[in-house]
Amino acid sequence: MEYKAFREGPIPAEFVLDEWNAPGEDLLELFAIEHRDLPDGKTCVALRPRKGAKFDRQYFTSFQIELMEQLATKYFKHNAQQMSDESHSEAGIWHQVWSVEGRKQGEIPYDYALHRKGTDDDLALLKFAKEREAFLQSLEK
């Protein structure tokens, strides 16, 4: 899954391009879509999980699951504004893509996060990911 640098923060690209504009039945079964007017005159669109909705791991890689578990642990006691502030900080990868590179709505590469950590495991994972991507592209030819 790719993430894009939107004004509101990192957003899953597939969701924005497909589901947001024309939500499928599967999305509507799990989430209610709410439109709220903001004080500045803009409209906020929010997804609210429906009662009884369950998380389905099949749509994520093990790497993505691990990242989400780390984020859930780190931000368990934070509210949405605190998480947004951190995701938009000058030290973050969203800021790198949106502000520094000026790529509004540009892809946020996973390797940015791995380079920022810079551990041997992260760099090995980055190398593996690049090799995997090259292999998958060779299959498409």
Q: How many CB atoms lie within 10 A of CB 99?
A: 14
In a domain, 114, yes or no: no
What does each C-alpha distance from 128 to 59, 114, 132 come to in angstroms?
A: 21, 12, 6
Helix (H, G, I), strand (E, B) or coil at 118: coil
Please give the structure tokens belonging to residue 12: 């899953």
Spatial distance between the Cα atoms of 30 and 8, rounded to a whole number of angstroms: 22
Residue numbers of the domain that contains 7: 3-108
pLDDT at position 50, please?
92
Which amino acid is residue 48, in one-letter code? R
pLDDT at position 17, please?
60
Print pLDDT tens along the chain (141 aa): 677 777 777 777 776 666 667 788 888 888 888 888 878 787 777 788 899 988 888 878 887 888 889 888 988 898 878 887 877 777 778 888 888 889 888 888 877 766 665 566 666 766 777 777 777 778 776
Contact present, 97 and 5 (Cβ < 8 Å) = yes
In a domain, 137, yes or no: no
Spatial distance between the Cα atoms of 65 and 76, rounded to a whole number of angstroms: 16
Q: How many structural domains is the chain composed of?
A: 1
In a domain, 125, yes or no: no
